[in-house]
């Protein structure tokens, strides 16, 4: 879609990641992305808060960091319609990262993923056009759902783990 994409993975996954569109691949076992990358517009974070804190430092001023793994922020609490107490909990949870983001003049937000028919239709169009390519690691029959969950929990799947209903 025209973006220059940098990502981290182990050397064993270089070909896989390159084939799904990465332009620059950093081996997280031997390299520190924070020392290699700079002046990016956007960071998509799915890792822990420590990694997020490092990741926002590679952004240029007015860049954006979006995290699906937290910490949740007040904007999320407002969108979710949470009460004042939970909004303040979210404020406390995101205080450190928000303070760092402000210092670096970047924007941070937490994204709580939820099903959205319109977005899913757009994604389907992109998949059908070959712009987005999904990677499936393993397909389990429904009777082996526990094994599928164990596979996901092990954290070593190379792509999505699918449970087939029919």
Q: What is the pTM of this model?
A: 0.83
List per-residue pLDDT tens for the chain, 166 residues long: 789 999 999 999 999 999 888 999 999 999 999 999 999 999 999 999 999 999 999 999 999 999 999 899 999 999 999 999 999 999 999 999 999 999 999 999 999 988 899 999 999 999 999 888 889 999 999 999 999 999 999 987 888 999 999 8
pLDDT digits (tens, 9 = 90+) for 34-79: 999 999 999 999 999 999 999 999 999 999 999 999 899 999 999 9
Question: CA dihedral in degrees (147, 27, 105, 64; nearest 10)?
Answer: -50
CB contact burial 95-123 (16+ within 10 A = b; e otherwise): eebbebbeebebbbbbbeeeeeeeeeeee
């Amino acid at each position: 879609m025209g973006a220059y994409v940098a990502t981290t993975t182990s050397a064993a996954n270089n070909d896989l990641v390159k084939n799904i569109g990465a332009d620059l691949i950093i081996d997280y076992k031997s390299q520190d992305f924070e020392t290699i990358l700079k002046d990016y517009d956007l960071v998509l974070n799915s890792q822990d808060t420590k990694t997020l804190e490092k990741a926002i430092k590679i952004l240029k001023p007015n860049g954006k960091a979006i995290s699906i793994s937290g910490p949740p922020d007040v904007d999320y609490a407002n969108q979710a319609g949470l009460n004042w107490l939970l909004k303040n909990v979210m404020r406390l949870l995101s205080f450190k990262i928000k303070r760092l983001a402000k210092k670096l003049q970047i924007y941070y937000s937490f994204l709580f993923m939820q099903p959205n028919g319109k977005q899913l239709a757009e994604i389907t169009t992109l998949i059908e056009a070959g712009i987005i390519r999904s990677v499936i690691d393993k397909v389990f029959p429904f009777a082996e759902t526990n094994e599928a969950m164990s596979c996901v929990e092990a954290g070593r799947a190379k792509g999505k783990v699918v449970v087939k209903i029919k």
